[in-house]
A and B are shown apart, each in its own frame.
Chain A
Amino acid sequence: MLKVENINTYYGDSHILQDVSLEVHLGEIVVLLGRNGVGKTTTLKSIMGIEPPKTGKILYKGEEITGNQPYQNVQKGLAIIPEDRRIIPNLTVEENLKLGILHKKKKLNVAERFDMVYQYFPKLKLRVNQMGESLSGGEQQMLTIARAMVSKPDLMMIDEPTEGLAPLIVEEIGEILRRLQRDGATILLVEQNYQVSLSLSDNLRAYILEKGQIKLSGTSEELHACQDEVERCLGVKL
Chain B
Amino acid sequence: MELTWEIIILQIIMGLALGAIYVILASGLSIIFGLLDVLNFAHGTFYMLGAYAVFVAISLCGNFWIAMVSAIVIVALLGGLFEITLLKRLYGTEPIYPLLLCFGFSIFMPDVIKLIFGLVGKVVEYPKIFQGAAFVGTLILPKYRIFLVVLMGVVLLALWLFMNKTDIGMIIRAATRDRLMVSCLGINVSRVWTVGFMLGVGLAALAGVIAAPMVQTIPNMGDEMTVESFVVVVIGGLGSLGGAVLGGLLLGQVVSFVSFLYPDWSNVAIFMAMAVILVVRPRGLFGEEGRA
> B189 is contacted by which of A71, A80, A86, A102 (Cβ under 8 Å)?
A71
> A103 is contacted by which of B173, B174, B186 (Cβ under 8 Å)?
B186
> A102 is contacted by which of B177, B181, B186 (Cβ under 8 Å)?
B186
Q: Given the known inter-chain contacts A91-B173, A99-B170, A102-B171, please indicate yes or no for A50 contacting B180, CB distance below 8 A.
A: yes
> B186 is contacted by which of A89, A98, A151 (Cβ under 8 Å)?
A151
12 contacts between A and B (CB under 8 A): A50-B180, A69-B183, A69-B188, A71-B189, A90-B174, A98-B170, A99-B170, A99-B171, A99-B187, A102-B171, A102-B187, A104-B186
CB pair B174–A99 under 8 Å, yes or no, is yes
- A148 (CB) vs chain B CBs: closest residue: B185
Tell me if A117 is interfacial: C-beta within 8 Å of chain B: no
Return the CB mask of B143-186 against A: 1 if under 8 Å, else 0.
00000000000000000000000010011011011101111111
> A88 is contacted by which of B167, B174, B183, B188 (Cβ under 8 Å)?
B174
- How far apart are the CA atoms of A151 and B185 in the complex, in Å? 9
Apart from A71-B185, A89-B177, A102-B185, list 18 A-B contacts with CB within 8 A: A50-B180, A50-B184, A69-B188, A70-B183, A71-B184, A71-B189, A74-B186, A82-B181, A82-B184, A86-B180, A86-B181, A90-B176, A91-B173, A102-B167, A102-B187, A103-B186, A104-B186, A105-B167
Chain B residues within 8 Å of A, Cβ to Cβ: 167, 170-171, 173-174, 176-178, 180-189
| Residues in A neighbouring B183, C-beta threshold 8 A | 69-71
| Residues in A neighbouring B180, C-beta threshold 8 A | 50, 70, 86
| Residues in A neighbouring B184, C-beta threshold 8 A | 48, 50, 70-71, 74, 80, 82, 86
Q: How far is the CB of A29 from chain B (nearest CB, A)?
A: 21
Q: How far is the CB of B52 from chain A (nearest CB, A)?
A: 37
Tell me if A138 is interfacial: C-beta within 8 Å of chain B: no
- How far apart are the CA atoms of A103 and B174 in the complex, in Å? 15
- B164 (CB) vs chain A CBs: closest residue: A95
- How far apart are the CA atoms of A147 and B174 in the complex, in Å? 14
| Residues in B neighbouring A50, C-beta threshold 8 A | 180, 184
Return the CB mask of A22-59 against B: 1 if under 8 Å, else 0.
00000000000000000000000000101000000000
- How far apart are the CA atoms of A44 and B171 in the complex, in Å? 24
Return the CB mask of A128-171 against B: 1 if under 8 Å, else 0.
00000000000000000001000100000000000000000000
CB pair B177–A103 under 8 Å, yes or no, is no
CB pair A95–B170 under 8 Å, yes or no, is yes
| Residues in B neighbouring A151, C-beta threshold 8 A | 185-186
- How far apart are the CA atoms of A48 and B180 in the complex, in Å? 11
- How far apart are the CA atoms of A56 and B184 in the complex, in Å? 22
| Residues in B neighbouring A119, C-beta threshold 8 A | none
Tell me if A227 is interfacial: C-beta within 8 Å of chain B: no
CB pair B170–A147 under 8 Å, yes or no, is no
- How far apart are the CA atoms of A89 and B182 in the complex, in Å? 12
